[in-house]
């Protein structure tokens, strides 16, 4: 019965997605406005701060993150304008996008609330590992952070749908299987709708394709494939069973497959970055 239900719900979700009938969430006005003002290369720090301050929740979170170990500064930040100055436009944009997404989802049941917390904890862990690994790939740390935070974004509409489907809400194993079957396709569609750069869309769409090969230098997808696998070490998950020797992304990054980055010197920093994102 559970298998039939899994197939039925998976098919319904993917049919809705491919026929453009699935209602995907839109980015809030503040996110669109931040993107718009930052398209102006001459925009002032004050103007960016003014836009951010239209959202009280985002303002508080951004100041908290600016004072966390993620952004190492010698003095305490008290204003959004100071936070923007310390972080720089690119990091502000990427952090604001991820924090806004976190605010968008308001669970209405205990089960969906727990599932969302698991989603954000895992996303923050992958983001922190991606941030730590970015130097190996010579990729921008703030973009690596956002790629990690967004890789599983397709889970959110499924968790939200479960609130209206008792069979899903009351069967955690079934919900996990449906998420595994559909979240990459839904994540790809969401980030396309939100007009995210193609590199982030690819991460959402293909981060579970652990055998992916490509020419050229390591990219954000390689980074998140490795970070995602490392986040599942010693956990009960299908990806924990993958033999890292078979994963081309490790070689692209020049990483030793016998050692997890969490166990390396970067381990403490990874925990700090994770904790900063969980504020």
Q: Between helices 45-52 and 89-104, what is the axis angle to 10°?
A: 0
What structural domains and CATH numbers belong to the chain? 2-23+105-277 (1.10.3210.10)
Q: Tens-digit pLDDT profile for the chain (279 aa)?
A: 467 888 888 888 889 888 988 888 888 888 888 888 988 888 898 999 999 999 888 888 888 888 887 776 778 889 999 988 888 888 888 888 888 877 788 889 999 999 999 999 999 999 999 999 998 888 998 899 999 999 999 999 999 999 998 888 899 999 999 999 999 999 999 999 988 999 999 999 999 999 999 999 999 999 999 999 999 988 888 898 999 999 999 999 998 898 787 766 566 688 888 888 886
Tokens (6 digits) for 69: 């170990």
The answer to whether the Cα torsion of 72, 78, 80, 85 is positive or negative is negative
206 within 8 A of 221, measured Cβ to Cβ: yes
Distance, in Å, from the CA atom of 124 to the CA atom of 119, rounded to the nearest integer, reads 9
Q: Can you say how many angstroms the Cα of residue 49 is from the centroid of all Cα atoms in its chain?
A: 24
- The number of beta carbons lying within 10 Å of the beta carbon of residue 55 is 21
What does each C-alpha distance from 100 to 44, 106, 269 come to in angstroms?
A: 22, 12, 24
Q: Hey, what are 165's tokens?
A: 């489907």
């Amino acid at each position: 019965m559970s298998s039939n239900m899994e197939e039925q719900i998976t098919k319904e979700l993917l049919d809705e997605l491919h026929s453009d009938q699935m209602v995907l969430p839109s980015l809030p006005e503040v996110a669109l406005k931040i993107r718009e003002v930052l398209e102006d290369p001459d925009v002032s720090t004050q103007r960016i701060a003014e836009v951010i301050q239209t959202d009280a929740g985002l303002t508080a979170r951004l100041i908290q993150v600016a004072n966390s170990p993620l952004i190492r500064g010698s003095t305490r930040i008290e204003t959004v304008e100071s936070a923007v100055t310390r972080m720089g436009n690119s990091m502000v944009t990427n952090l604001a996008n991820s924090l806004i997404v976190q605010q968008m989802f308001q669970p209405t049941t205990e089960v969906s609330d727990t599932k969302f917390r698991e989603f954000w904890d895992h996303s923050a862990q992958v983001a922190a590992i991606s941030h730590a690994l970015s130097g190996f790939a010579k990729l921008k740390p703030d973009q690596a952070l956002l790629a990690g935070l967004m890789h599983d974004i397709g889970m959110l509409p499924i968790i939200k749908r479960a609130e209206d489907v008792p069979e899903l809400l009351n069967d955690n194993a079934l919900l996990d299987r449906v998420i595994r079957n559909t979240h990459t396709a839904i994540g790809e569609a969401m980030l396309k709708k939100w007009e995210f750069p193609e590199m982030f869309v690819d991460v959402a769409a293909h981060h579970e394709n652990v055998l992916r090969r490509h020419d050229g230098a390591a990219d954000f997808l390689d980074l998140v494939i490795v970070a995602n696998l490392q986040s599942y070490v010693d956990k009960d998950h299908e990806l924990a069973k993958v033999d890292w020797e078979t994963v081309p992304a490790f070689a692209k990054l020049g990483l030793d497959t016998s050692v997890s980055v969490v166990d390396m010197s970067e381990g403490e920093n990874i925990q700090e970055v994770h904790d900063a994102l969980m504020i």
